[in-house]
């Protein structure tokens, strides 16, 4: 009887280990522009993120990997995510006055890589 209980316990522990290992990917989040937000509102939030917010917006400059597509929405998404990844563990959020949202889908495209930091 004790070996049967030990076997069940080991199986349960193995199961929990597998679940916790697999579910790690569920916690990958990126911050992107909300498509329902107007360009004017996105631009205000983008300006803040790249200015006082402290996001590194160098990759959305001309001839840089995230410049294209050259839209306010795409540039805001990059800047919002850069800010969020940089400051999420220090109290930063993905809010931007309601102009942003969290996604579990990596928004990277082509040579433009959206950073993810655990």
pLDDT in tens, 58-93: 999 999 999 999 999 999 999 999 999 999 999 999
- 112 vs 118: CA distance, rounded Å: 19
Reported as half-sphere exposure (CB side, CA atoms, 13 A), residue 84 has a value of 26
Beta strands in the chain (DSSP E): 30-33, 100-103
* Rounded Cα gap, residues 43 and 80, in angstroms: 11
- Give Rg (Cα) of the chain: 20
pTM beyond 0.85:
no
Q: Which residue ranges make up each domain of the chain?
A: 27-103
Condensed to tens digits (0 to 9), the pLDDT of residues 12-65 reads 544 444 444 444 456 899 999 999 999 999 999 999 999 999 999 999 999 999
């Amino acid at each position: 009887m004790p070996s049967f209980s030990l076997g069940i316990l080991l199986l349960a522990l193995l199961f929990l280990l597998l679940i916790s290992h697999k579910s790690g990917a569920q916690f990958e989040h990126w911050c992107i522009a909300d498509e329902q937000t107007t360009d004017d509102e996105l631009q205000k939030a983008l300006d803040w993120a790249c200015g006082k917010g402290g996001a590194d917006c160098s990759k959305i400059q001309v001839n840089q990997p995230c410049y294209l597509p050259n839209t306010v929405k795409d540039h805001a998404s990059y800047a919002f995510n850069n800010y969020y990844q940089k400051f999420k563990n220090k109290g930063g959020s993905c809010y931007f006055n309601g102009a942003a949202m969290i996604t579990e889908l990596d928004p990277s495209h082509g040579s433009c890589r959206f950073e993810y930091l655990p």
